[in-house]
Amino acid sequence: MNAEYLGIAGRTARFFIRSPLSPLFYAAMLMMGLLGLIMTPRQEDPQISVPMIDIMVQYPGASAQQVANLAIQPLERLMSEIPGIKHVYSASQRGQGLVTVEFDVGEDMGPSLVKVNDKLASNMDRIPPGVLPPLVRSKGIDDVPIVTLTLWSKDLDGDGGADVDDAQLRLLAQDVLQALKQVKNTGNAFIVGGRREQVTINVSPERLSGYRISLDQVAQTLQSANAEIIAGGVETGGARFSVTTGAFLTGVEDIKRLVVGTYNDVPVYMHDVADVQLGPEEDASQLVSYYTGPAAEISERADGRPAVTLAIAKKELTNGVTVANAIIDKVEELQGSRIPDNVEVSVTRNYGETANDKVNELIFKLVVATFFVFVLVLVAFRALRPAIVVMLVIPVVLFMTVFTAWIWGMTIDRVSLFALIFSIGILVDDAIVVVENIYRRWLEQGRTDDATAIDAVREVGNPTILATFTVIAALLPMGFVSGMMGPYMAPIPKLGSVAMFISLFAAFVFTPYLAISKWLRPTMSYLRAAEKREHKGSERLERFFRRVLTPLMESSRKRTLFRLTLWATFLFTCSFFYFHWVAVKMMPLDNKPEFAVVIDLPEGTALPVTANLAHRMAQEVRTIDEVTAVQLYAGTARPFDFNGMVRHYYMRSEPWQAALQVQLKDKTERERSSHEIAVAAREMLERLKESTGARIAVVEMPPGPPVLQSVVAEIYGPSSEVRRQFTRDLTGIFEQAESTRDVDNYLRDPFDYWRFNVDTEKAIRRGISVETINRNLSMALGGTPLGDIKQQSGRQSGHEPIQILLQVPLAERSQIQRLGDLPIQSTFGYTVPLSELGEFQRAGEDDLIYHKDLRPVEYVVADVGGRLAAPVYAMFQIQDLMAETDYMAPDGSRPAGIAGFGDAFYWLGPPPDDSRLSWEWGGEWTVTYETFRDMGAAFMVALVLIYILVVWEFGNFRIPLVIMAPIPLTLLGIIPAHAVMFALGQGGEFTATSMIGWIALAGIIVRNSILLVDFAVHEIQKGVPVAEAMIRSCKIRTRPILITALALVAGSSVIITDPIFQGMAISLLSGVLVSTLLTLIVIPLGCVAAKDDMCKVAAASMPAGVDIPCLMERENNTATAARAAAKKPAKPRGLIGRLWGGLVEVLVLVFYAIRGIFLLLGEALKSLMGTKPKPAPRRPAAPSARGPDVSTSAAVEPATDSDQAAAGSAVETKTKAPRKKTTAKRTVKPKSSAGEAPKTSTTQRKTTRRGIRLKVDTPPDSE
């Protein structure tokens, strides 16, 4: 067989079918895959790089408006100039402000941080007077802790209280953290909770006044005594010595002995005017407690025990599972040595364990799916050996795909594994088609030789390549989805396409090798037995298709009725979305082992009040049966996750802010999902919050990219008063909506603060500056550390510095009027009470000022719940409520307009200006819109690519449309299946993963359609009528098409229980079953309707001078019609006719241009690869009574039920005595009733544009 005849598939099979390299390649690919499986980092979700950089600005004494105008807005303008910026957010309050720079998804943190720092450094001269240098802090996905450890005290002495307080726990946590940081690849680490150790100097104002000493003098004495410097050096005796002076304070006794002044020439010591103590902070600014739940595995029960939490992240591009396991092992090693027995260490977060469990679970599902496919192939072939051949190809494809993921720097996560599970149902199809055709050809030839196997691979090569690339064309455009969903779902198109390409390679390389191997090569008796088992099924299929298709083909009325029924069913199915029988949602909630409760009390609430309410809520939550533990965080932020990073939960450190972190037992040990438990917790806590004025939000881990909140209204308007009033009104409307939960806004509740107004005239007359008054008052309230002590006790190196804090006792500073006795040192040498220099007054706190992208904005946010738990439904409900109540906004406008269709709300971007009150819908809706928009565009691109590929293959514009017709019909299965699951309460929302499944189905369905049409084309070339050819095609191709469909069902069925990818599983399962059945009806009807085009396609690959009956019949009909038309007077063509004719000419021109481009590319590739130029084909000789003698090296009978309907089998002829003949036009006669074409010549296939062309040679003399 010559190389030109075999094509790329045949040449590949011929090279590898007996090559010793084949088993080596197989083993090498397996080893590479195992290496990738071991080396590729594991994590639960794909890494999404979303750099977020916070810039904190201090502007002491400035109002919120001054901070916004003078410090924040210039900074916003600077940041907006940086390339790669997506949004610039800011919040301003009295004395300080925050600017958050959010970069585009995919930007690297390092370069982004450099851009921000460079921009700040080059504009430091523009900082207004009084503004302190900005502090830049970055947060990225790698800063999220993967392990959190909560240390809490046991009660070993049995007194009912904690053996260890929070301050001691913090000291212990510092030692443990120092040891844990020795673990390789640990990243950002911090401690939450516990009072810090410090030296507290409680100064009595009365004593200071009695000794005529000011607080300033005490501070100066303390600072000057706590210093040591190197004064220089001396040389003596040939050596050099450094000279130091001063000394550091090393303990409480050193501080007590300090002389702070004199009174009547008698020294006054520190202990005379103050009480000095070393111990925990007196005024705690944070509180962390630990509670055990009913599902706790330890016997020790905790009911609000003091606790601290250690949080540890991993380094970038490291294996989270390995790092987490190493941390846990290190903790177990420390227990009993550094960690005493009366301290319990609870692992309250272990993303490494959850990721490993998820990966192992999915790998198990991968194995189960592979086994299902093996059983399916075994049942379909009714033979063990071909099933083993297919089975052996699967691991090579999967392992090499994992190796590719490692090379590309990807991770093994649930999305990448879902891509592999989803691909199993598709990637086996190439091997199935190849092995089935090899077995069929062996059966035809009556021998299991290598040449027939090679020719069988060649026979199905081109259609298999085309079908594979149609699936890749459907998947690849999904890789260009923007926003956070792009990198989140990127493994599906990337790894799916790689798996398809590797499966094609394996089908041409390993499948023939395995099929002819010593252990798997079948005997002829084996093949005949298998054929006998299949014969009855084939006969039944033929009778079924004749009974179903023949009436539709012969009756135009029935065809019209069928089309109308199909269209009516399609429109009715699409109406499921309108009637809310199927909900549309971005992503469903996952079943996680944790959730959180965020608590906000009115601004100005003291920490003890906040802690008390949070304690009551924790007591309620811990009674839920599935709860293992609860941690309470008051006045400080809980260790943040990815969701908390985006929402800035790590900055929640006000006294009126608290949070509960709730752990649940493993999902395999509970019946309810984490979402159901969270809903129950919300209902329990609603009763507590109503009596306290608190706002709570039950926060679940989002299944996909996090957002500010599920429903967000960003309000713009002409003035702050209008915006804030409308924000309050809109908050009330949010609360009335059926689908909203945890409604809140970003307005600040009114609260007061104390302000000391200095009488500057009195102060100046007494020789006291305002700065002196400010400094003394700050020290009295404990706001100014004065250094630290350097203990000589040899403590562990992980400890924090022990600061020295000078302050007035708590009993006196808690009463604002008692601070009036504080003595202030005058430059004239005497002290003056603070009350004589001014007075304390209460003032209202400034409102917060928010900006987004340099525009003032307010926010109203809410979560969603109920039956239609999706943001879009809540948004419609809110607009309907505004329309029903005829709501009038503070500026006099009616935002809802008529029937809810107002122009004050914007769905796809912010309002153009702030001249009128309006708002933009944000939150999850923005991600939903961007994702479905991009996926819709990707679907359109996929359809165009598939159309181009099929046009290139068949050389026709209409037949590809017939082939692609079943694509929308997949919705007839997808939407009702979602509706059934939704009605049963088992999920069923149409999500982004549902759409991914729909897009992927496009390539699969086209693949099946191509196999049907290609077989029919070859039957038509043999002279079979189009209708009969389609029935035969359905008979022969139903089995491989059903195998493909059921393989996809088997691969998808194992993921239907996963909450995230349930939508994709439903789409694949239901869509492929319904569309496969409809394909076997719609494609034959479409081809019969386009029978003229089918004849053209069949004739295009026939040799010159050979016609087929259906084409001749068409030409005769055309000629008859032309003669009839010539007798009639010609009618002038109208405008529409001329436009249509021009359009057709343009399309023809485009077709030939595209074809020419591909041909040029093919020739260029051949020249680059060194392929010899194709010789000019010889025109076949006409048949004669006697032909030249020929010798046939491989004579094979024409195929009658080939996978691709070969018109004839390959033969090689060698001309011995060529004779001069005349060329005559011949016609291929129709087949006999037995289905065999008359043997008029030996045929040979020749590679052309479509891969198949008949070359007719003269018959041998024996004929």
How far apart are the C-alpha atoms of 1048 and 1075, rounded to whole Å? 13
Residue 680's pLDDT is what? 92
Task: Tell me 160's DSSP state.
Answer: S
pLDDT along the chain (1263 residues), means of 10: 67 88 91 89 81 93 93 94 93 94 88 94 90 91 92 79 86 92 92 91 88 88 90 87 89 91 89 90 87 88 91 89 93 89 92 85 82 82 82 88 89 82 76 84 82 86 83 83 82 88 90 86 78 72 85 85 88 90 85 92 91 94 94 94 89 93 91 91 87 88 83 92 92 92 90 90 90 88 84 61 89 83 86 89 91 94 88 90 85 64 75 87 87 85 86 85 87 91 85 85 82 84 86 83 81 81 87 85 87 82 68 62 58 57 61 59 54 43 37 35 37 39 43 39 36 36 36
The gap from C-alpha 544 to its chain's centroid, in whole angstroms, comes to 45
Is 1-19+382-522 assigned to CATH 3.40.47.10? no
The gap from C-alpha 755 to its chain's centroid, in whole angstroms, comes to 50
Phi, psi of 851 (to 5 degrees): -130, 145
Question: 52-139 and 142-196+283-358+605-703: same fold?
Answer: yes
Residue 1182's pLDDT is what? 37
Q: Which CATH architecture has domain 142-196+283-358+605-703?
A: 2-Layer Sandwich (3.30)
Bridge-partner residues for 859, per DSSP?
714
What is the amino acid identity at position 19?
A: S
Please name which of 934, 933, 929, 1006 lies closest in space to residue 970, comparing C-alpha atoms: 1006
Please name which of 46, 1079, 1099 lies closest in space to residue 488, comparing C-alpha atoms: 46
How far apart are the C-alpha atoms of 75 and 90, rounded to whole Å? 10
Is 197-233+240-280 assigned to CATH 1.10.10.10? no
Q: If DSSP codes are grouped into helix, strand and coil, which group holds residue 749?
A: coil
Please say whether the beta carbons of 103 and 83 come within 8 A: no
Can you tell me which residue has the tokens 């949602």?
585
Can you tell me which residue has the tokens 């177990």?
332
How far apart are the C-alpha atoms of 1048 and 407, rounded to whole Å? 27
Residue 1128's pLDDT is what? 59
> Residue 779, CB half-sphere, CA atoms under 13 Å: how many?
25
3-state helix, strand, coil in the chain (%, to 5): 50, 20, 30
**Angle at the Cα of 996 from the Cα atoms of 992 and 997, rounded to 5 degrees:** 120
- Please, what sign has the CA dihedral across residues 965, 968, 972, 978? positive
Q: Number of helices and strands (H, E) in the chain?
A: 37, 37
- Please, what sign has the CA dihedral across residues 226, 229, 234, 239? positive
CATH code of the region 536-584+955-1097: 1.20.1640.10
Q: Could you tell me the two tokens for 777?
A: 């008052």
**Helix (H), strand (E) at residue 712:** strand 711-716
How far apart are the C-alpha atoms of 463 and 688, rounded to whole Å? 67
Residue 905's pLDDT is what? 77
Annotated domain spans of the chain: 1-19+382-522, 52-139, 142-196+283-358+605-703, 197-233+240-280, 536-584+955-1097, 1116-1124+1177-1256
Question: CA-CA-CA-CA torsion for 487, 493, 499, 500, nearest 10 degrees?
Answer: -170
Phi, psi of 162 (to 5 degrees): -75, 140
Task: Tell me 835's DSSP state.
Answer: G
DSSP string for 387-422: HHHHHHHHHHHHHHHHHHHHHTT--B-HHHHHHHHH
Residue 1115's pLDDT is what? 59
Alpha helix stretches (DSSP H) within 197-243: 205-211, 215-225
Please say whether the beta carbons of 675 and 569 come within 8 A: no
How long a stretch of residues is the chain? 1263
For 262-291, the three-class secondary structure string (H helix, E strand, C coil) is: EECCEEEEHHHHEEEEEEECCCCCCEEEEE
Phi, psi of 1244 (to 5 degrees): -140, 130
Residue 1150's pLDDT is what? 60
- Find the helix packing angle between 351-381 and 1026-1053, rounded to 10°: 150
Q: If DSSP codes are grouped into helix, strand and coil, which group holds residue 1057?
A: coil
Please name which of 1073, 1037, 1039 lies closest in space to residue 1053, comparing C-alpha atoms: 1073
Please name which of 12, 1038, 1016 lies closest in space to residue 457, comparing C-alpha atoms: 12
The gap from C-alpha 846 to its chain's centroid, in whole angstroms, comes to 40
409, 997, 1174 from 487: Cα distances, Å: 13, 17, 45
Q: b/e map of 16-28 (b: 16 or more CB within 10 Å)?
A: bbeeeebeebbee
The gap from C-alpha 691 to its chain's centroid, in whole angstroms, comes to 40
296, 400, 893 from 913: Cα distances, Å: 55, 54, 16
What is the amino acid identity at position 1231?
A: K
Please name which of 307, 376, 255, 369 lies closest in space to residue 804, comparing C-alpha atoms: 255
> Residue 354, CB half-sphere, CA atoms under 13 Å: how many?
19
The gap from C-alpha 1161 to its chain's centroid, in whole angstroms, comes to 37
How far apart are the C-alpha atoms of 99 and 320, rounded to whole Å? 31
Please say whether the beta carbons of 497 and 468 come within 8 A: no
Of 3.30.70.1430, 1.10.3730.10, 1.10.10.10, 3.40.930.10, which CATH number belongs to 52-139?
Answer: 3.30.70.1430
Residue 854's pLDDT is what? 93
Return the biggest CA–CA distance within the chain.
145
**Angle at the Cα of 615 from the Cα atoms of 610 and 619, rounded to 5 degrees:** 155
Phi, psi of 328 (to 5 degrees): -65, -40
In this structure, the strands spanning 1226-1227 and 1106-1107 are: parallel
DSSP string for 858-895: EEEEEEE-STT-SHHHHHHHHHHHHHHTT---TTS--T
2, 17, 461, 1192, 1196 from 452: Cα distances, Å: 14, 12, 14, 15, 9
Residue 1195's pLDDT is what? 34
Give this prediction's pTM.
0.79
